[in-house]
A = this chain, B = another copy of it.
Amino acid sequence: MVITIELTNRQELILKIVQEEGPITGEQIAEKLNLTRATLRPDLSILTMAGYLEARPRVGYYYSGKKGNQLLKEMLNKMTVKDYKAVPVVIKEDTSVYDAIVTMFLEDVGTLYVVKERGTLAGIVSRKDLLKAAIGKQSLQDLPISVIMTRMPNIITCQIDDLLIEAANKLIQYQIDSIPVVKPLDNGEGLEVIGRITKTTIAKAFVELGKEKEV
């Protein structure tokens, strides 16, 4: 169990002294503060337990350089794609652009995944791709989605054991709205689509962080 503590002024002062003058013994710190070594014992043990100070026998205390957001990192490192992924909405390669648009409205998603037999990923198509096609000259009923989709291997994917924060980072880095969660097939014949991570997924996870819960 990880807990959080607001440091007292005295503890912050001790931290500062050790940062500037460490390694320094407990007795020397006590002397600087005009306090007894016994009075400082709880403060030093808190700072040591928190990982800010390290104690070396016959040398004294020195500053570990640890930063303060370990708890948050710990929480973020527990959030994996597996626990947050949504159900993917898939269409076949020969689906018309018109039918793809209809599917997008019916399923109310921002991105469709295009799959081959056995659910392996062939392409991906966003609202933006469909909008671009819709203002073009071609008949949407006659245009197969495979003509306008982004194809493998140009698709950013993730896997269920990836951290959610890694997936979020890909969404930002590649300026995309959605990442298919895939599972490589045993025979090496492609990537099976098993989920999706979208900016909505990330926004939900962010909101969830603010809800009351035990760490």
Residues from chain B with a CB closer than 8 A to the CB of A36 are: none
A30 near B: Cβ within 8 Å? no
Interface of A is mostly: helix
Q: Which of A145-153, A184-192, A202-210 contacts B (4 or more CB under 8 A)?
A: A202-210
Residues from chain B with a CB closer than 8 A to the CB of A110 are: 127, 177
Asked, given contacts A1-B7, A206-B168, whether A71 binds B73 with beta carbons under 8 Å apart, the answer is no
Is the pair A68, B12 in contact by a Cβ cutoff of 8 Å? no
What is the bound-complex CA distance between A83 and B202, given in angstroms? 19
Q: Which of A39-47, A54-62, A85-93 contacts B (4 or more CB under 8 A)?
A: A39-47
Residues from chain B with a CB closer than 8 A to the CB of A154 are: none
Smallest CB–CB gap between A113 and chain B, Å?
18
A63 near B: Cβ within 8 Å? no
Point out the residue from B73, B132, B207 that lies within 8 Å of A168, measured CB to CB. B207
The 10 A-B residue pairs with the shortest CB-CB distance, nearest first, are A134-B134, A199-B199, A68-B215, A4-B71, A202-B203, A42-B45, A127-B127, A165-B210, A3-B50, A5-B50
- List 14 A-B residue pairs with CB atoms under 8 Å apart, sorted by A's residue number: A1-B12, A3-B7, A45-B46, A67-B213, A69-B214, A69-B215, A72-B209, A73-B210, A105-B131, A127-B128, A135-B140, A168-B207, A198-B199, A199-B200
Residues of A at under 8 Å CB distance from B? 1-8, 12, 15, 41-42, 45-46, 49-50, 52, 67-73, 75-76, 98, 101, 104-105, 108, 110, 127-128, 130-132, 134-135, 140, 165, 168-169, 171-172, 175, 177, 198-200, 202-207, 209-210, 212-215
